[in-house]
Structure 1
Amino acid sequence: MRSFQWLALASTFVSAGAITPEQLITAPRRDQAVPNPSGEVALFSTSQYSFDTHASSSWWSLLDLNSGKVSRLTNDSSVSEVVWLGSTDSNVLYINNTNAQIPGGVELWISNTEDFDGSYSVQGCISAGFVLWSQDSGTKSGDIHFVVYSQTYGNGTAYNEKLAATPLSSARIYDSIYVRHWDTWLTTTFNAVFSGTLKKKITGQGGKSRFSLTGPLHNLVAGVKNLETPYPPFGDSSDYDLSPNGKWVAFKSKAPELPQANHTASYIYLVPHDGSEKPVAINGPKSPGTPHGVRGDSSSPVFSPDSDQIAYLQMKDIAYEADRRTLYVYTIDSKKTISSLAKNWDRSPSAIKWTPDGQSLILNTEDKARQRLFLLPADAGDDFKPHNFTDGGVVSAYYTLKNGDVLVTGSAIWTSWTVYTANLKKGVTKTLFSANKVDSSLKGLSSSDVDEFHFKGNWTDIHSWIVYPPNFDKAQKYPLLFYIHGGPQGSWADSWSSRWNYKVFADQGYVVVAPNPTGSTGFGDKLTDAIQNNWGSYPYDDLVKCWEHVRDNFDYIDTDHGVAAGASYGGFMINWIQGNPLGRKFKALVSHDGTFVADAKVSTEELWFIEHDFNGTFWANRDNYRRWDPSAPEHIRQFSTPQLIIHSSKDYRLPISEGLSLFNVLQERGVPSRLLNFPDENHWVLNPENSLVWHQQVLGWLNRYSGVEKHNPKAVTLDDTKVPVVDYNP
């Protein structure tokens, strides 16, 4: 027997290359690298939290695309949304989040990157808190057309929180469903895109160019009732685009004629930048060129380099968030021509960019637990299968360079931020930056920490990641930490996470196994769609078979002292496992924001989600909802594995009552259990101080029951001193 041979290594396996929760939370978090027109340098922003000051700081930097060296541009935390100005290599346009004239307003500034803090000039004041620039557009006159977004009132004027009147009553009244979404109760304000122009002027004897904001900003969505963009809570500048010639703006909005709680349908709208006409849906149900039967979510509109076409993505199903996206191209002059590209390709792109010559498109697409870039000719037929020219990790952003290569920002399980160049034919050509080589808290992490395997699932081969602790030795034995992903249409990808980080869990002394069972995305429609009305069947069977495969094939993994954890759908699956035989195979369980009572699913905000996944409405198809009910008596009677329940009060997708119900049952059944609640968090735990408590409780709970706590002096323990435990039991 070698069940605890891993314990002899306790003093060494966390000493080299290990990452702690504190290091994860305080490591620098960098945004996308955006190159200047010549491709010599790239801009990016960084934020970092400190447990010493209990505050975050942020700054902007430049990355030299030849040497990979980083230089600080500015420490001014008021600077945001920086974009390169037209075709210049050193001038940038940005928002300064201060306004001396209007409380809650912002200002438009221009600076030169060679003397950023000393060269700024104020171009204009805006009376509200506008955020998120699109790429600016240079016109023949030299004027700068730009697009921003802000919250607005129903009359189209921008909302300014500091100037808004405080109502005397806190009452909220609704006459239609969709009263709240994600973590926010819906109000009479909503998002809207605004356009503006900075007029170029030549001043002085030297002919120096200056710009000034001319006229008011134009609300581009105000002309049609119920339009909103970017769409909350995750909408951003990818929801709209400004044509290179500055004439047009395209944006995504949910279908205004349909109840948003029941449908995912959205359209791409086209509107003149100057707001002279109302926006028109190019692929709405009454649009002449709309492909037959295609009514699902539209996304990622992007203009061709000549401004004549718009490429966009759209799902077919009107009420399904994980349907496959197909690429379409709309020709503006024709007003009737929408063509599909690679329609039969069994992958779902998430972002599009045209190549500079307009002859091809570059697609960012999930594929086999990675996020890869694929090249697609603009004249590709429906049966064309694009080829990928990047491979490992995930791509979070990408830009074409002047020499034809692509600048890629991404991450991997072993690094939080990497920037590299890739050639459309040769693949990755040069790595410019990788956080694990620079950040002291991440040093020692490498691709050798990660492996993958496949096993026979319920009906097909299933992929799984395997992540090792530091100083891993296959001759020793380590307890299993079984990871179950959310979604349910989602996946464990080769990506960095600041919440469910594989390495932070592994570095406690576990081998993390993270399978992608039925329902997972990136492996084709059939695997993704097969989870519909099968939440507790195929996926559960896959997980059982994964656990058995690990037990029978990996001598260095100790399944006798294994533990399991999951969030969202993964939280549901933990609750399902608790009441089924697999639950007896683990020493402890952790469920984060998981559903428990089948009938409670009707309290969610996105009704289209449950009505799709359970094949109908709550009243007409109640048996479908109850088929996979963790709270059914026959499951509750099997509860016996110690379980930590985490549920936050602002999670409106899975209301707090779900966590309370599960905790009540576990306590009454006498099962060791604990409830962790964050009143100010949503489906995710984002506040750094809350995140630290989350890690201490989750890791401490698992470590206590797996045996890690007793034998590893550096393991996280249940720290009940920072947040006192409420216990009214005698």
Structure 2
Amino acid sequence: MTTRAEKFTPEVLLSAPRRSSASPNSAGNLAVYTVSTYSFESHKKTTEIKVLDIATGRSTLITNEEKTSEPHWLGHGNELLWLQSTEKGATKLVVGSVYEIGKSYVAGVVPGPISDVKLKILDDEKVAIAVSGKARPDGELYNPEDEPKKFTTGMLYDSLMVRHWDKYVTPNKNAIWHGILHKTKPHITESKGRYGLGNLTNVLKGTRLESPIPPWGGQDNFDLSATGVGFVSKDPDLNPATNTKSNFYYVHVGYSPNGLTYSEPVKIVVEGFEGTSTAPVFSPSGKGVAFLQMKENGYESDKNSIIVDFDVENPATTVKLLESNDGEASWDRSPSSVSWSNDEKTLFLIAEDNGVTKLFKLQIPVDSRVSTLPEPLTQSGTVSDVQTLGTNSSHLFLSSSSLIDNSIYSILDPVGSAKAKVVSSNSHNGSFFGLSEDQVSDIWFQGAKVQVHAWVMKPSNFSSDKKYPLAYLVHGGPQGAWTDSWSTRWNPAIFAEQGYVVIAPNPTGSTSYGQEFTDAITEEWGGLPYEDLVKGLEYIKDNLDYVDTDHAVALGASYGGYMMNWMQGHALAKEFKALVCHDGVFSMANQLSSDEQYFPNHDLGGPYFTRHQATWEKWNPARFTGNWSTPMLVIHNELDYRLPISEGLAMFNVLQEKGIESRFLTFPDENHWVLKEENSLFWHTVVLNWINKFTGLPAYKDEKEQGYIVQN
């Protein structure tokens, strides 16, 4: 970013450059990343591949060709490999040098869409490569452009799932493809040889396994070593709609004069762990592997435990770290990723802790039953990625964000006590957005049972002599949290800059405050969290004299949308001038039409058709529609298969029939989220206009300039 915004608006949020995590080269002096920027003037998005000089903080453009993605360092030099999709669905593997910009070449063409590139240097002439891509039922790469014409649109299913997130399930499954990039000898006109791609082999062919696991699995679902591929996959013998159990598998890759050979996938069994497995990563030597595993099948928010196999070719060496004598974990935080130090003596963990996503270090023990807990290395913001700063360094390169900055690159010495040194801040610590750290604080208040944490965001022009209307945000999940991180969907600063004090509580069920607090929402959807929110508002009234609670609004999405509906039928809604419900639950029984049935089954005690039906009905917002009276904006999208659009239509029908002031906003081409920039801008405009109307703030802008408005 080069221009300071006069005011942080939705346009600024959505048009600000979005940087990916950055990856250092083997020398530790350069880092490659992508940056995408959307223009509301041209209505187009541009994507660039850039390289950061870590010493100076300056970046160099490598390419801005359309449809390029996923740059990776290739070999020990300064060459890069990136992907470029073609109009016919194929994918080019392009190689270019940092020092010869514009002289890239195509190392190979894969006849279908691929992504999630992983590379491993084998020697000076060979680099192993693994990618993900859809496979047809026969195990060959799927290209939708080659799909034969069908004369019916009918799809017949004999088992779940029928559809997942925003797509109908098809016979084509995710698979991992492995091959070798060979470097040829230099041509007489060249100073060095060129890489060429050999055949790619589907290492899951004929196994019934699928990896990455849909809908969110990507690079975090598999890894590559010099001698094998490790990946996680759901258990093929269990129904994916009612089970979360997945396993870690290892495929040994052999090299011979006749080519590559692949073993059958070997499942690494972790006794007592029947839940989700994720985030596998090989040690630098490739001998060991670490991954995360949950204990409980059917519970997607169970605590992640750290599993290490010190010799992946010998699964008997698998151990569970931080396990106490009673079989429970001695650390009550749940890491989301794990990585190794270069000397293989330390693991680095990313985990939420009290609303902050921190980096921790854990010394790898000889005995898994140790008392030493992971040590936090960061104290603020949200670390999204960590890599060693080159192959011979103990320092770390971090990619992170915060509530005021959408992208930060920094260097950290994990041995020293100094804070991370910022190498590059996309917004100069928020200043280009007109934001500052002074706007952000937090509070703790007594909840239903324990102390509850909440983030507070004030306007940038805040004055202690004034009162500001309250925007009370309820997060989704419900096993989620408001953290010190950037968002382009629910960004507290957007509401603060309209003139609100934003308070974002993390009630019972939230992550990052220990597993017991997370688990406490089970069979308590409208209970403990609701009580926490009531007590949070009482605390605000009694302690924050700069908040005008007489002009308050509440907003929530997903579970937060459920809570808007639950509040509507209970006393708390009367405290607010208006509500916003985005893709929320209206009728608990309609969760039977959702995709992942294990989710309501776990949180409500069991399936609806069992003795647990009473719990489903106990927390059903539709039971209390007779009490609804607060004006509400309902937002629900057509492609939301997790919470089907009938939920939003039912809410709107009730509101309209009761004569309650209300509006209905829908996007036929969006899922549970609103991701397209133009749609997101319209979403922000409608939401801000709605809440501003009831709090005495001016309208944000004319909706008719952006959206299609139907007035019957």
Q: TM-score, normalised by structure 1?
A: 0.92
What residue number does 2:575 align with? 585
- Corresponding residue number in structure 1 for 2:297: 318
The match for 1:295 among 274, 289, 314 is 274
Say if 2:384 is the partner of 1:396: yes
Q: Deviations over 1:77-131 (max 9, x none)?
A: 243221101222x1112223238xxx3212222211112212x222222111222
Displacement of 1:151 = 0.9
2:110 aligned residue (126, 147, 151): 126
Give the counterpart letter for 2:707 in structure 1: V
Partners of 2:420 and 2:587 lie apart in 1 by: 52
1:233 counterpart residue number: 215
> Are the equivalent residues in 2 in contact too, given 1:466–1:512 (CA < 8 A)?
yes
Instruction: Note if 1:276 corresponds to 2:295.
Output: no
1:76-115 map, 5 Å: 76-88=65-77, 90-98=78-86, 103-115=88-100
1:206–1:27 distance in 2 versus 1, CA, 3 Å? closer
Equivalent AA in structure 2 for residue 130 of structure 1: I
1:347 maps to 2:336: no
Quick check: 1:697–1:718 contact (8 Å CA) kept in 2? no
> Can you list the C-alpha shifts for 1:207-264, whole angstroms capped at 9, x where unaligned?
9543454642100111312x11111221111111111xx2111011111110000001
- 1:427 CA displacement: 4.3
Q: How does 1:352-363 map to 2 (within 5 A)?
A: 352-363=338-349
> Tell me, what secondary structure is at the counterpart of 2:509?
coil
Aligned residue runs from structure 1 range 154-553, under 5 A:
154-204=137-187, 208-213=191-196, 215-225=198-208, 227-243=209-225, 246-273=226-253, 276-283=261-268, 290-330=269-309, 331-343=311-323, 344-379=330-365, 381-402=369-390, 403-425=393-415, 426-437=417-428, 442-553=432-543
Unmatched 5+ stretches in structure 1: 1-14, 284-289, 710-714
Q: Residue 140 of structure 1: CA displacement?
A: 3.3
**In structure 1, C-alpha distance between the alignment counterparts of 2:460 and 2:70, rounded to whole Å:** 39
Name the amino acid aligned to 2:653: N
Equivalent AA in structure 1 for residue 503 of structure 2: V
User: Once the 2 structures are TM-superposed, how far is the Cα of residue 725 of structure 1 from its aligned partner?
Assistant: 3.0
The residue number in structure 2 matching 1:644 is 633
Alignment gaps of 5+ in structure 2: 255-259, 324-329
SS at match of 2:332: coil
Cα distance between partner residues in 1 of 2:293 and 2:6: 43
Secondary structure of 1:194 counterpart: strand
Structure 2 residue identity aligned to 1:127: P
Which one is further off, 447-456 or 230-239? 230-239
Determine the C-alpha separation between the residues in 1 that align with 2:398 and 2:177.
29
- C-alpha contact 1:18 1:469 (8 A) present in aligned 2: no
Displacement of 1:49 after TM fit?
0.7
Distance verdict in 2 for CA 1:214–1:642, change over 3 Å: closer
Kindly state the Cα deviation for residue 16 of structure 1 after the two structures are TM-superposed: 8.4
Q: What amino acid sits opposite 1:335 in the alignment?
A: P
Shift of 1:144: 1.2
**What is the aligned counterpart of 1:655 among 644, 648, 659?**
644
Q: Report if the CA contact (8 A) 1:202-1:208 is conserved.
A: no
- Between 347-356 and 267-276, report the one with greater CA deviation: 267-276
1:628 correspondence with 2:619: yes
Q: What secondary structure sits across from 1:263 in the alignment?
A: coil
Letter in 1 for 2:362: L
Runs of 4+ with >4 A deviation: 204-209
| 1:585-604 aligned within 5 A | 585-604=575-594
Structure 1 letter corresponding to 2:109? C
Deviations, residues 356-408 of structure 1 (Å, cap 9, x unaligned): 00011101111111111100111153543111111110011111114311111
- 2:670 counterpart letter in structure 1: E
- Distance in 2, matches of 1:16 and 1:168, equals 53
Shift of 1:191: 0.9
One-letter amino acid matched to 1:384: T
Q: Secondary structure at the match of 2:621?
A: coil
Cα drift, residue 306 of structure 1: 1.6
Matched with 1:726 is 710
Following TM superposition, by how much is the alpha carbon of 1:52 offset from its aligned partner in structure 2, in angstroms? 0.7
After the TM superposition, which of the residue ranges 398-407 and 652-661 deviates more from structure 2? Answer: 398-407
Where 1:459 maps in the other structure, the secondary structure is coil
**1:292 CA displacement:** 2.5
CA deviation digits over 1:606-653, x for unaligned, max 9? Answer: 000000000011111211101111110xx2122111000000010000
| Residues 673 and 326 of structure 1, relative CA distance in 2, 3 Å threshold | same
Match of 2:552?
Answer: 562
Distance across 2 between alignment mates of 1:191 and 1:95: 18
Which piece of structure 1 moves more, 469-478 or 449-458? 469-478
Output the CA distance in 2 between the equivalents of 1:430 and 1:399.
15
For 1:336 and 1:557, the matched residues in 2 are separated by 59
CA distance in 2, matches of 1:204, 1:490: 56
* Structure 1 pair 125–435 and aligned structure 2 pair: CA distance change class (3 A): closer
**Equivalent residues, number:** 691
Q: Mean alpha-carbon deviation: is it higher for 62-71 or for 296-305?
A: 62-71
Deviation at residue 138 of structure 1 after TM alignment: 1.4
CA contact (8 A) 1:463 1:517 kept: yes
Alpha-carbon distance change, 85 to 494 in structure 1, aligned in 2, over 3 angstroms = same
Q: Distance in 2 between matches of 1:528 and 1:376?
A: 23
Q: CA deviation at 1:601?
A: 1.1
Q: Secondary structure at the match of 1:665?
A: helix
Give 1:76 shift: 1.5
- Contact map agreement 1:419 1:433 (CA 8 A) in 2: yes
How far apart, CA to CA, are the structure 1 residues paired with 2:136 and 2:229?
21
1:287 aligned partner: none
Contact 1:223 1:279 in 2 (8 A): no
Distance (Å, rounded) in 2 between the aligned partners of 1:279 and 1:498: 42
Deviation at 1:307, TM superposition (A): 1.1
How far apart are the structure 1 equivalents of 2:649 and 2:250? 47
Amino acid in structure 2 at the alignment position of 1:315 = M
Q: 2:180·2:199 contact (CA, 8 Å) conserved in 1?
A: no
C-alpha distance in 1 between matches for 2:388 and 2:582: 40
The Cα offsets for residues 288-325 of structure 1, whole Å up to 9 and x where unpaired, read as: xx333211000011111121111000000011000000
Instruction: Identify the residue that residue 5 of structure 1 maps to in structure 2.
Output: none
Q: What secondary structure does 1:276 align onto?
A: strand
TM norm structure 2: 0.94
- Cα distance in 1 for partners of 2:695, 2:701 equals 12
User: 1:205 and 1:688 mapped to 2: Cα distance?
Assistant: 49
Secondary structure, counterpart of 1:221 in structure 2:
coil
CA contact (8 A) 2:405 2:429 kept: no
Partner amino acid for 2:117?
Answer: W
Q: 2:257 maps to what in 1?
A: none
Superposition RMSD on alpha carbons, in Å? 1.8
Percent sequence identity is 39
| Residue matched to 2:101 | 116
Distance in 2 (alpha carbons) for counterparts of 1:443 and 1:106:
37
Verify the 8 A CA contact 1:198 1:211 in the aligned structure 2.
no
Equivalent pair of 1:17/1:445 in contact (CA under 8 Å): no
CA contact (8 A) 2:32 2:52 kept: yes
The SS at the match of 1:624 is helix
Q: Any residues of structure 2 matched to 1:56-71 within 5 Å, and which? A: 56-71=45-60
Q: Secondary structure at the match of 1:351?
A: strand
Alignment-derived partner of residue 614 in structure 1: 604
CA contact (8 A) 1:228 1:254 kept: yes
CA distance in 2, matches of 1:153, 1:496: 38
CA distance in 1, matches of 2:571, 2:430: 43
Equivalent position of 1:716 in the other structure: 700
Identify if the C-alpha distance between structure 1 residues 718 and 517 changes in structure 2 by more than 3 Å, giving closer, same or farther: farther
